[in-house]
Amino acid sequence: MAEKMEDPKERLELILTGLSGKKDVAELCKEAGISRELYYRWLERVKEQALKALAPREPGPGRKEASPEDVKKLEARVEKLSKKLSKARKESAYLGLVVKTAQKIIRRNAWGNLPLPKKNSTRDGKPGNSTSGSGTTPGETGLNSG
């Protein structure tokens, strides 16, 4: 082994040999040209890193601890988006009601060729009672939805 032991692989090999018990640690250190104190410092580092490597981790990219400031920002954003969502749902419900009402008015006045609801299946699906060949019904103002 090299005297300076700059290569991490050599250091690890030295530590693993010492842990295996095949050679005495003092003898290994003497051959490597390092002190026993340095050997045990390296051994502690290896143990610390091994524990980190073997600790259970959550899946996904690297974990980052959120700071209290980040948490506050996210909570404010969630609240803002919740308000927007609530507003959008109300608007959607209102527009749905407007559409239903408009469809009823169009059907009632026979202004377009909208399909009739199934509950009125006795009708043939044609608007109004046209008596002239023009295709317009009495009261029609020339508005067409289709």
| pLDDT at res. 58 | 74
Q: What is the pLDDT of residues 28-79, one digit of tens each?
A: 999 999 999 999 999 999 999 999 999 887 766 766 778 889 899 999 999 9
pLDDT of residue 130: 45
Residue at token pair 């508005």: 143
At residue 124, the pLDDT reads 52
- The position carrying tokens 């959120």 is 66
Give the C-alpha separation, 64 to 51, whole Å: 19
The pLDDT assigned to 113 comes to 67
128, two tokens: 């109004």
The pLDDT assigned to 99 comes to 92
* Range name among 5-19, 49-63, 86-100, 131-145 with the lowest pLDDT average: 131-145
Residue 26: per-residue pLDDT: 93
pLDDT in tens, 76-117: 999 999 999 999 999 999 999 999 998 888 888 887 665 666
Q: What is the pLDDT of residue 126?
A: 52
Cβ atoms < 10 Å from Cβ of 106: 18
